[in-house]
């Protein structure tokens, strides 16, 4: 990493660290480096420059739920259990995927769904680790740092978090970061923004803070029971169960129940934390296990995982240990008393447009909301209004996270996530194939399925002609389709395709004739041999169609259909909405459905 000395007024690409605090086992954690910047003391972000050895091992994947990948240099590798991870590797999880990483020093990283975490450095001898969480959720259980210049640091776009021998949860989005201290020690949080370089907040177990990008950092707060539970449940690889009640207090014994599924065969339950004992107090059912729990008086506040042993594999859950006062406060809405609209899962076909509305966000009495920040992760789509209009035409098919941050005039903030899936929908080329299938099946509804009833000119008359031709005139149809050429403007929601069809068909009122072995009639004056058959000959024609599409909430729809047709007997027709020989038979001279806004080549 290169560090450049700058003067006031010059742009600094990185800070130059000059002082590194020493870490003590029992001291409050200091995880910021002091940096001179135009006479100010700035928050330290990078470690001192270190030569990175190529292909240096950092740890391995100990468990995972697909689909996950490892980005290594310019390659994208499929993640696998026991896969070695190197300095500079990035772990990327897709929707539903999760990864557990065991670093070489024994620290555990649990990476949640739709997350991207880079292992920048992991020096086990010096006990210096740097991670970059680009987006998503991560829960870390960090071994105690004993080296004087050691440290464990996680950076996001909005925060820098340092820990030593403790557990933490971080949720990172492009516009905000939430950090929660889960237990075992303290977490120190700072801002990477030089305007707030002096800011530093130390979180005790059970406390949380949300930093919003380019906004003055707010105050820390108590994490809610829901936040503490989700910090575990949203990052755990094993099957998750729930403890009821979720929270208790030091020095307390109570009867609880573990709630989950397929629990009849459970053989044991246990906590890894000394001072918390648990035993099964009654018969297990498919959906729950009654338990008796005792928490010793000296157990510090925090979140403590437990394990349920079963023949089909372990289940895990978490118990929150807090004070009675904190439990009462944590039962509120959290986020400083602010409550944005609830999370939801949204599925839309590409082309759909919809509005996200945060104007109903609750804020404490006597306060008012001063800022709304919307963003769709990994895109440039954003808004600073209460309402955010999303045009999915600007998004490729896939999974996204819509991020919301709301700030009031006290500097309190609240965040929310909304999962969005953009489905590709049927494409114009596929719709043209459906037209060919509709021709052959002689099913009017199938042929008309992708026509825009509102915007297609004279749709009612056009549909009536299709129905009459398919049901009253035609007996059989075969369609031979050549490759289709399409021009698509994704952002404009418009497409134009040229399709060539070769048609073979028979009519219901068509007379029968004597046919040879190839299905051809005998020339006039040539008597039919005894072995000839009587039937209808195949009529043939060709159609070159120009088909225009527009895309709306329900996907691509046909708005114009113009054709240049060559029919039996050499007749030609142009400018008919469906100008095929099938519809034009018997009316070549006066086609019924003219359009003027399509120019044929």
CA 295/CA 250 separation, integer angstroms: 5
Please, are residues 426 and 450 in contact by the beta-carbon 8 Å criterion? yes
- Specify the pairing of strand 35-37 against strand 474-481: unpaired
Please, are residues 495 and 517 in contact by the beta-carbon 8 Å criterion? no
| Helix or strand run (H / E) with residue 193 | none
User: Domains in the chain, please, with CATH?
Assistant: 35-231 (2.60.120.1440), 239-330 (2.60.40.10), 336-423 (2.60.40.10), 428-584 (3.10.450.50)
Kindly report the CA angle at 45 between 41 and 47, in degrees rounded to 5? 115
Number of residues that this document lists for the chain: 601
CA 111/CA 98 separation, integer angstroms: 6
Kindly report the CA angle at 43 between 41 and 47, in degrees rounded to 5? 120
At 484-499, the pLDDT tens digits run 999 999 889 999 999 8
- Whole-number pLDDT of residue 568: 60
Cα four-point dihedral sign 273, 274, 277, 279: positive
- Whole-number pLDDT of residue 333: 39
- Whole-number pLDDT of residue 436: 87
Picking from 365, 381, 473, 464, the residue whose alpha carbon sits closest to that of residue 420 is 381
CA 163/CA 172 separation, integer angstroms: 17
Residues 6+ away with beta carbon under 8 Å from 328: none
- Whole-number pLDDT of residue 11: 38
- Whole-number pLDDT of residue 469: 84
**Beta-strand (E) ranges in 22-115?**
35-37, 40-42, 57-65, 68-72, 75-78, 84-86, 90-93, 98-103, 108-111
Residues 6+ away with beta carbon under 8 Å from 217: 191, 196, 199, 201, 209, 211, 411
Picking from 387, 340, 331, the residue whose alpha carbon sits closest to that of residue 363 is 340
CA 303/CA 232 separation, integer angstroms: 9
CA 587/CA 206 separation, integer angstroms: 81
- Whole-number pLDDT of residue 145: 92
Please, are residues 160 and 190 in contact by the beta-carbon 8 Å criterion? yes
Reading phi first (left if > 0) and then psi (alpha if -120 to 50, else beta), residue 281 is in: alpha
Picking from 415, 462, 491, the residue whose alpha carbon sits closest to that of residue 210 is 415
Please, are residues 555 and 351 in contact by the beta-carbon 8 Å criterion? yes
Regions of the chain short of the pLDDT cut 70: 1-55, 326-336, 567-601
CA 190/CA 196 separation, integer angstroms: 8
Q: How many CB atoms lie within 10 A of CB 509?
A: 8
CA 258/CA 264 separation, integer angstroms: 12
CA 495/CA 491 separation, integer angstroms: 11
Q: Is the pTM of this model over 0.75?
A: no
Preceding omega of 245 cis (within 30 degrees of 0) = yes
């Amino acid at each position: 990493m290169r560090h450049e000395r700058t003067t006031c007024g010059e742009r600094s690409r990185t800070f130059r660290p000059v002082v590194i605090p020493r870490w003590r086992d029992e001291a409050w954690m200091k995880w910021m480096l002091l940096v001179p910047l135009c006479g100010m003391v700035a928050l330290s972000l990078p470690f001192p420059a270190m030569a990175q050895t190529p292909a240096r091992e950092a740890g391995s994947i100990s468990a995972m739920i697909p689909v996950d990948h490892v980005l290594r240099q310019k390659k994208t590798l499929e993640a696998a259990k026991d896969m070695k991870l190197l300095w500079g590797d990035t772990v990327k999880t897709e929707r539903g995927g999760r990864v557990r990483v065991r670093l070489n020093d024994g620290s555990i990283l649990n990476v949640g769904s739709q997350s991207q975490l880079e292992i920048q450095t992991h020096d086990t001898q010096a006990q210096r680790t740097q991670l970059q969480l680009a987006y998503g959720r991560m829960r870390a259980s960090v071994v105690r740092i004993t080296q004087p210049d050691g440290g464990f640091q996680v950076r996001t776009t909005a925060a820098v978090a340092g820990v030593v021998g403790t557990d933490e949860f971080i949720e990172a989005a492009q516009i905000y970061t939430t950090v929660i201290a889960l237990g075992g020690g303290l977490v120190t949080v700072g801002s990477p923004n030089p305007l707030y370089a002096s800011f530093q907040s130390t979180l005790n177990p059970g406390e949380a803070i949300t930093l919003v990008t380019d906004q003055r950092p707010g105050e820390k707060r108590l994490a809610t029971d829901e936040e503490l539970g989700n910090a575990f449940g949203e990052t755990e690889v094993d099957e998750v169960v729930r403890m009821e009640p979720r929270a208790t207090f030091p020095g307390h014994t109570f009867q609880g129940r573990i709630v989950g599924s397929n629990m009849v065969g459970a053989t044991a339950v246990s906590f890894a934390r000394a001072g918390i004992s648990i035993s099964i107090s009654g018969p297990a059912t498919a959906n729950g296990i009654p338990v008796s729990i005792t928490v010793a008086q000296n157990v510090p506040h925090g979140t403590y995982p437990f394990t349920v042993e079963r023949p089909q594999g372990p289940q895990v859950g978490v118990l929150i240990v807090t004070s009675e006062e904190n439990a009462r406060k944590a039962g509120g809405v959290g986020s400083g008393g602010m409550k944005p609209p609830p999370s939801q899962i949204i599925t839309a076909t590409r082309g759909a447009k919809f509005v996200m509305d945060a104007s109903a966000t609750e804020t404490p009495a006597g306060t008012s909301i001063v800022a709304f920040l919307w963003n769709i992760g990994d895109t440039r789509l954003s808004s600073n209004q209460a309402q955010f209009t999303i045009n999915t035409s600007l998004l490729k098919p896939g999974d996204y996270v819509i991020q919301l941050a709301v700030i009031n005039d006290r500097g309190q903030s609240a965040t929310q996530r909304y999962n969005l899936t953009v489905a590709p929908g049927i494409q114009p080329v596929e719709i043209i194939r459906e037209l060919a299938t509709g021709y052959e099946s002689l099913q009017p509804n199938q042929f008309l399925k992708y026509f825009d009833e509102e915007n297609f000119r004279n749709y009612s008359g056009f549909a009536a002609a299709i129905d009459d031709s398919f049901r009253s005139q035609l007996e059989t149809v075969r369609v031979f389709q050549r490759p289709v050429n399409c021009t698509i403007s994704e952002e404009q929601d418009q497409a134009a395709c040229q399709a060539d069809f070769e048609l073979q068909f028979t009519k219901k009122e068509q007379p029968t004739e004597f046919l040879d072995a190839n299905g051809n009639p005998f020339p006039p004056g040539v008597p039919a041999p005894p072995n000839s058959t009587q039937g209808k000959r195949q009529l043939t024609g060709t159609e070159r169609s120009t088909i225009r599409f527009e895309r709306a909430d329900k996907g691509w729809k046909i708005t114009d259909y113009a054709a240049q047709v060559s029919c039996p007997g050499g007749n030609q027709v142009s400018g008919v909405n469906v100008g095929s020989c099938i519809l034009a038979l018997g009316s070549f001279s006066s086609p019924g459905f003219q359009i003027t806004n399509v120019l044929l080549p």
